[in-house]
Structure 1
């Protein structure tokens, strides 16, 4: 598994990193929903009837669960340093552009560490901005893969949740971005560029990812999987 080290710019990441933004929005929405459930529970409790007590208890439990999510989500994701340190460096490219953002297409091995063979997939992510990059098709966007499962009981060989997180969301230094581009094997950039046309198809696939047939992989990637 290939990693890339650099000094994370906290102020920059807080302002532009959309992964952190997603976590903040989830936390805020969980708190608001919890407050609504709690208010509903109080209202029902004050009606002083057997059925209202039951419903109030149900809403109270829902409120606690919502507030628990607001605490659990940031801890599960970890700090921005954790995300960049744990995630493997992967190639991504701008594959589609829109008036307010773009879609990036990434090449990611979604196999878990204990899996014997690689499972390369094309994964897309819609982004609003990519500081340090031009939003033009084919722009190389070195990223790290954020890998996780929905639950700890999963026994699948591949990660359930996979998303590319651009290095550009963690630093303003263009030298770091160039170094990250060079750290990716040219074979991977070539394979990704070859598949840019399927970006829309990947967007419509389950979990916005599409496995690549091993027969379509360059020998270098298969050898890398064997060596791992």
Structure 2
């Protein structure tokens, strides 16, 4: 495991980190759903019919579940500082330049601690912007892995949900980015650049990641 510690610029992160924006969108969607379901439940209770009471209770439970999601989502994900501190430092490169952003391709070890060895995968993430100048295909974007499971009962050797966050979403300090880039081995950067052509395949795969066969890896990563 390779951690990379740096002081997260909270103001900068909240303005550019799209993970933060995604969480906010989920909260707003859950909140809106709670209001709609709650309104529907109230209307059914007002009707005062046996069947409407039953449906009203169902909608009320769904409304409470949606309201719970508003509070639970940011706690489940954790703060941005926690995500940067707990995630592994991983290499990512610009694989596609799109009219409204970029597609990033990262090399991520998705093995859990009891897997007995690394399980490398290619993962993509579509981003709307990266701080700084315009980026070209192949540009290095040091990042932090964000891994998780869909349920708490998962017992597989690899994480089910794979994503990553650019370090540049957490700091304006160019020396931090230079240091992060240098801590990632040349072998990893070289492998990732060789795989840029597979970006579309990875992007269209389930969950936007593809597990690599060990035979595709250089000896240093096996």
TM-score by length of 1: 0.96
Deviations 1:6-53 (A, max 9, x none): 110000000000011111110111111001000000001100101100
SS at match of 1:46: helix
Distance apart, 1:107 and its partner CA? 0.1
Partner of 1:82: 82
- The yes-or-no answer on 1:115 pairing with 2:118 is no
Partner of 1:216: 216
Contact 1:110 1:121 in 2 (8 A): yes
**Structure-to-structure mapping, 1:32-181, within 5 angstroms:** 32-132=32-132, 134-181=134-181
Distance apart, 1:133 and its partner CA? 5.2
CA distance in 2, matches of 1:178, 1:154: 37
CA distance in 2, matches of 1:146, 1:17: 13
Q: Which runs of 5+ in 2 are unaligned?
A: none
- The yes-or-no answer on 1:198 pairing with 2:164 is no
SS at match of 1:144: strand
SS at match of 2:47: coil
CA distance in 1, matches of 2:209, 2:35: 35
Distance apart, 1:68 and its partner CA? 0.7
CA distance in 2, matches of 1:192, 1:113: 23
SS at match of 1:172: coil
Q: Which runs of 5+ in 1 are unaligned?
A: 223-228
- The yes-or-no answer on 1:19 pairing with 2:16 is no
SS at match of 1:207: helix
SS at match of 1:15: helix
CA distance in 1, matches of 2:133, 2:167: 11
CA distance in 1, matches of 2:200, 2:133: 21
CA distance in 2, matches of 1:208, 1:60: 35
Distance apart, 1:98 and its partner CA? 0.7
Distance apart, 1:132 and its partner CA? 3.0
RMSD: 0.8
CA distance in 2, matches of 1:209, 1:138: 18
Contact 1:133 1:139 in 2 (8 A): no
